[in-house]
Amino acid sequence: MKSFTVSFTLVWLTLTAQWGAAQEVVSSAAVQFAERHTDAIPDFQKHVVPLLGRLGCNSAKCHGSFQGQAGFRLSLFGFDFQADHSAIRAEASSMQENRIRTEDPEESLIILKPTEQTDHAGGRRFELNSWEHHLLLRWIESGAIGSESRNTDPLPQVNQTKSSPEGMDLFKKKIQPLFENHCYECHGFNNRKGGLQVKTRDMLLQGGSSGSAIVPGNPEESLLIQAVRYSSDALQMPPSGKLDPMQISDLENWVRMRAPWPADQITAALGPPNQKLVKLHYKPAEILFHAVGDTLQIQVIAEWENGEREDVTCLARFQTNNDAVVEVDRDGLATSTGEGDTHLVVFYDNGVASIPVLRPYRSSDNLSSVIHRDSDEVPSRGSVHPIDRYVDAKLSKLGLIASARSSDVEFLRRVSIDMTGTLPIPQEVIAFLTDQSSDKRIRKINELLDRSTYAAWWSNKLCDFTGCSPASIQSLLEVASEEGYVKASQWYEWIYRRVAANIPYDDLVEGIMLADLSSQETDGMPYFWTRQSLEKPKDTAMSVAHSFLGIQLQCAECHKHPFDQWTQTDFNDFSQFFETITRSKRDVSIKEEKNLNLLRSQIVSLGPDDDPRRPIMDWMRDRNNPWFARAFVNRVWAGYFHVGIVDPPDQFTPANPPSNPELLDWLTDSFVENGYDMKWLHRQIAGSETYQRSWKPNDTNRNDRRNFSRAIPRRIPAEVIYDAMKQVTAAADELDEVRTNLRRRASGHLSMRMAGTHAMKVFGKPDRAINCDCERVNAPTLLQAVFVQNDPLVRMRLAESSWISEMEQRVESGASFDKRELIRQVWLRTVNRLPADEEVARSVKHLNLTDSLTEGLSDLMWAMINTKEFLLNH
Amino acid sequence: MGNQFTRRELLRVGTLGGGLTLSGYLRLCATETQSEKCSKRSAIFIFLEGGPSHQDMFDLKPAAPSDVRGEFNPIATQVSGLQICEHLPMLAARAAKYAIIRSVSHNLADHGIGKKYLLTGNKPSQTVSYPEYGSVISREYPSEADLPTYVSMDEAFVGPGYLGSQHSPLTTEKPRHGFPYSVRGVSLEDGLTVAKYKSQKSLLDDLDTAFRGFEELDDQVRGLDRFSEQAYDIISSNRTRSAFDLSMENSSENERFGKHEFGQTLLLAARLIEAGVHFVTVRLRPAEFDFDTHSDNFSRLRKLLPPLDRSLSALLDRLDERCLLSSTAIFAAGEFGRTPKINSGGGRDHWARAMCALMAGGDIRGGQVIGETDATASEPVDERFTPDDLAASFFANIGIRPDMEFQTNVGRPVTLVRDGRPIRRLFSDE
């Protein structure tokens, strides 16, 4: 691999609460345009587009809709300044009026409509003589100038083709329907037979494996025309039958007219905006409320690349992340609505900033007694673990008191499920209870980390994150082929070997990222790249971002990301890295030199023969990478707490900040310092007091679900339930086999085979078909309850329980047995604790009522697996 | 997080009282989105999997060349001027009860993506998994607590998509005539009696104590309790079990629907709707009821059409007799049509540019044909509709706005049927 040059030319957009050196700040637009007459001239990017955004004009429900609204379309959430400007400047189709009349601004539609001086389906957006009104008037009378692009030739070549109205008409009435009806089946949507797609003019020009499909102006030279004429035996399209002569001549005419294609259907490379926002400053840095109804005004200042600063409070958009804690109005006035903590999010241009909002829990004022009681229960453990230090700092800020330490049995069950996807067995519970040593929990953690079930469960998770799906590997059809299963299993095993050997996480990812696609003899894992769902470079880009960076780029495929800084340009650039890596290609090296913006971190220069994935891998493992290690650390955390520090864990956006940034920073930095040692990470998290807290709330933390002041009960995952049902009903001498034979476990090799089966669907095992951690669903449902209560599979497990029949045989053989001991076993097997006296009594009562011991035990087992205590990890 | 969800739950959609017409409904709902007083209605979706041959069933072309026309002749129906296939005589006699849409056209002539398209009304996407119709009804129009809202026979193909697994259907095996019918998870098998089940449940109630006093603590705890009770109600209730119990039908009714799988499935669908289940998907797997007639199209249709004819007719009659047709929206279609030209194996291949759909019940004005295809049934002439439009019409007929908006888990707003508009002529007032 040749070297490539990396230059850090792009400034990372920073969002900061610090006001910089005392610089002159341009006053807000509301002040500048308070009067009708002013010398100030509004700027399209800085004022007009943000104003349209704030007024809701470019939202999906209004003119931001892809169909536009009443013939007027703006780019969704703004940021396509050229398109927006030309849309505003274009003549309104339905009327004899212009949207803009520079000679008579008051008569411009963009004034008349939103002030409701003429009918406007969107109603009144601002008042006459308001600053908004003045701003728009002033912009119009000053010439309604748009954003000048730095790009000297911003528009793609196609636009230079003069398209006559006749050409457009021909395209819309004849050519487009013809393409849709006769070509799309094989060359449209997600299909590209022969490498050809006919969705855009560029795609036709680019052509497929036989070369360019059209030569504009020259039908005779155009492959498309030759094909539809059926003139050669080699290429006859469409294959289902020759087109009508009229249709063929339409196509010939269209090519002769240089193949006109409407501009709005061109997927143009967007020119960069003309000015760059460097920082979005905000005040205050943090909001601390004390009572309902407390209010506070937020101020927002934009800093541009040329050093200019402007108060943009009146042009920004505001959003609350939890309206039960704080509400915010459109002018940035925050009002406290409840206890807890969340963020207010500010949007302006492509800047997004989040302001922490806290209101301490009131009930904490008079809880000294609780503090006392709790602190008694926590054994002194010498130095405080950093995790606990960061978590406790946040708790004390919020007036939250952490729940008491979990009991030994609670801890054992919880950590066994979270770390190994497996319930403990009776003798393990007893041994742990009788162990009197003070370090028994950390020794248990280390023991679990050495089990094959740890590697299996976390390989299964890594397969979730990376999209290892038998269906998607082999075909687009819904049914996985045998080859799909085989490959998915290889993928799983490849990860399993590395997790078991505790290979550093970055090396594991490198094995996937840089997998050699040209040969089968490789150490890497190539199937990540060859999935059928990665049809286009864009799909690959989204998949890489989701799997390894925990970020969702898909919004930016079609419009500016509404909650993130990503624009279509960023997304298009990132996609270009993967142009040579579509699933069918084997040679990934690029053919010509190009400079690409890598998610605004740097410009990467790629030369011929470079593997474009390598600079991405190098960047990911750079210790300053903002997402790579962080995303993984956070996902592992979420695996133990049911909620991420950033949650959802695959939504790292400035609008979704971590609930405890210091904690996430510490975990990330230490994980990297420790050489991406995954077991180290698990050990830290599970070894913390924070993880070992009881789910039982105290008076302060009932409603806390994001600061880890207690454990959150969560339904055990699909695979774990399936395996657990087997385990709790197995005879004592089969327990080891049931627990360790990964080939027969849903959380092991069976994971791939079982995806899509009834039980797995009911309990929300992900199909790994889309890029979203939300695919795994842990919420309880009606069908799950129906399943656990009465599904044939559950009834069968009970009816065929080798443990119950073992007990039955013992009784039949005349051996003495103690009902209480059997009851104890049921408890140890299912809820992994000893039963209380009243539970034993109730059970004895039931056993005495049933006709046979088998029936009684089966009832008891049925009842226990239907308890919340069994179904939840707590 | 609970209130965050409410915040994101953008939409509360209104529907209307019986007398209101569709256009009235659309007008009203455009202005009054909060109206709760109006009613939604139940629905049955019948999926004819494999891609039924439109020009051999509901869009015959007797004047076409013989390699297109095929072997079947059209017959007159109850409605003057409307003709359908000679192998659908019973449906012909009831043509006033349903509308045929002949100008449906799309471009996904592949089973996998075509099915997803027709089962959701949205083109399949890499980033959003769309829900099937019944899952939307499960969310928007739940049945009473001791009944499932949405039953799918058999396995659902698409599932609840972005609506989440709580809106999955209760799936069942297809009923087979002469065999005892069992519903997975609902039927009490192997001699399990309701009394026994009740004693198990009472044991469970006494032992499920770990979270006593904390029932309202977390969503998951609350959810487990709620669904456990509902599951118990469904499993132990007479209402659900008798709804699924086909043995309660007399033999003449069995006869009327046909003693084959399709007939028994539609009979069960009718029973479920009568009992108060709000949505039923009937989807027979191709192994049993396969419209994918790549070869021997005509001999296979001679076997497929009579059961379809009989059962669908019986369904329409039965719902009508019980005054339920006006309160039940019915939609039948496959994933695409079939090629105009008959291939060398006497079959027809995949063809998405033209296909038919059938709608009945609710506000559908029966006895009409919407749209027209060209001389060889290859393309619609003039107006054409997409599966999106069919879905929008179906939802509108159910009383759910097709343009209502949901939020995916990643917070992205998604329109229920993004690209479809209700076909206005389908509805009674136009």
The per-residue pLDDT for range B28-57, each reduced to its tens digit, is 443 334 334 358 999 999 999 999 999 999
| Sign of the CA dihedral with A718 first, then A724, A730, and A735 last | positive
Whole-complex ipTM: 0.76
- Write the DSSP symbol of residue A617: H
SS3 A715: strand
Which residues from chain A sit within 8 angstroms of residue B230, using beta carbons?
A: 782, 785
Answer whether B287 touches A (CB < 8 Å): no
Q: Note whether B89 and B72 are within 8 A (CB).
A: no
CA–CA dist B287, B302 (Å, integer)? 17
Pick from B192, B204, B379: CB nearest A867: B204
Pick from A240, A777, A849: CB nearest B165: A777
Q: Check B184 against A791: CB less than 8 A apart.
A: yes
Average pLDDT over residues B287-293: 81
Answer whether B33 touches A (CB < 8 Å): no
Average pLDDT over residues B134-150: 92
Answer whether B188 touches A (CB < 8 Å): yes
Which residues from chain B sit within 8 angstroms of residue A868, using beta carbons?
A: 208, 210-211, 221, 224-225
Pick from B107, B223, B412: CB nearest A188: B107
Q: Which B residues 126-155 touch A at CB under 8 Å?
A: 126-129, 148, 155
Q: Helix H segments across A813-865? A: 819-830, 837-849, 853-865
Strand spans (E) along A198-336: 277-283, 287-288, 295-297, 299-304, 309-311, 317-320, 326-328, 333-336
Q: For residue A829, what are its two tokens? A: 């097997």
Is the confidence at residue B157, as pLDDT, over 70?
A: yes
SS3 B92: helix
- What pLDDT is recorded for position A93? 52
Query: Which amino acid, B241?
Result: R
- What pLDDT is recorded for position B278? 97
CA–CA dist B130, A769 (Å, integer)? 12
Report helix angle A452-466 to A678-687, nearest 10: 110
Q: For residue A115, what are its two tokens? A: 């002030």
Which regions in chain A score pLDDT beneath 70?
A: 1-23, 66, 91-97, 148-163, 180-181, 184-186, 188-193, 199, 262-274, 363-382, 474-480, 520-521, 582-586
- What pLDDT is recorded for position A3? 38
How many residues would you count in chain A? 874
Answer whether B344 touches A (CB < 8 Å): no
Residue B315 to chain A, least CA–CA distance (Å): 28
Burial A192-206 (b: 16+ CB within 10 A, else e): beeebbbbebebbee
Nearest CA in chain B to A542: B127
Q: Check A864 against B184: CB less than 8 A apart.
A: no
CA–CA dist A140, A690 (Å, integer)? 59
% chain B with pLDDT above 70: 88
- For B137, residues 6+ apart whose C-beta sits below 8 A from its C-beta are B40, B43, B149, B150, B278, B279, B398, B400
Nearest CA in chain B to A774: B409
Residue A536 to chain B, least CA–CA distance (Å): 11
Q: Check A777 against B203: CB less than 8 A apart.
A: no
CA–CA dist A184, A191 (Å, integer)? 8
Residue B62 to chain A, least CA–CA distance (Å): 21
> Cα dist. A646→A630, A654, A872, B194 in Å?
10, 11, 23, 47
Residue B284 to chain A, least CA–CA distance (Å): 16
Residue A648 to chain B, least CA–CA distance (Å): 8
Question: Is residue B27 very low, low, confident or very high in pLDDT (cuts 50, 70, 90)?
Answer: very low
- What pLDDT is recorded for position A264? 47
Which residues from chain B sit within 8 angstroms of residue A714, using beta carbons?
A: 220
Nearest-CA neighbor of B399 among B22, B3, B1?
Answer: B22
10 Å Cβ neighbour count for A755? Answer: 25
Q: Check B166 against A843: CB less than 8 A apart.
A: no
| Average pLDDT of chain B, as a whole number | 86
pTM, two decimal places: 0.77
Nearest-CA neighbor of A741 among A761, A760, A727?
Answer: A727
Question: Which residues are registered as beta bridge partners of A91?
Answer: A98
Is the confidence at residue B304, as pLDDT, over 90?
A: yes
SS3 A720: helix
CA–CA dist A220, A236 (Å, integer)? 15
Q: Check B107 against A185: CB less than 8 A apart.
A: yes
Residue A731 to chain B, least CA–CA distance (Å): 23
Pick from B3, B203, B411: CB nearest A322: B3
Is the confidence at residue B348, as pLDDT, over 80?
A: yes
- What pLDDT is recorded for position B35? 39
Which of A789, A846, A860 is the best residue to mutate to test the B interface, defined by the most B CB atoms within 10 Å of its own CB? A789
Q: Check A792 against B228: CB less than 8 A apart.
A: no
- What pLDDT is recorded for position B16? 30
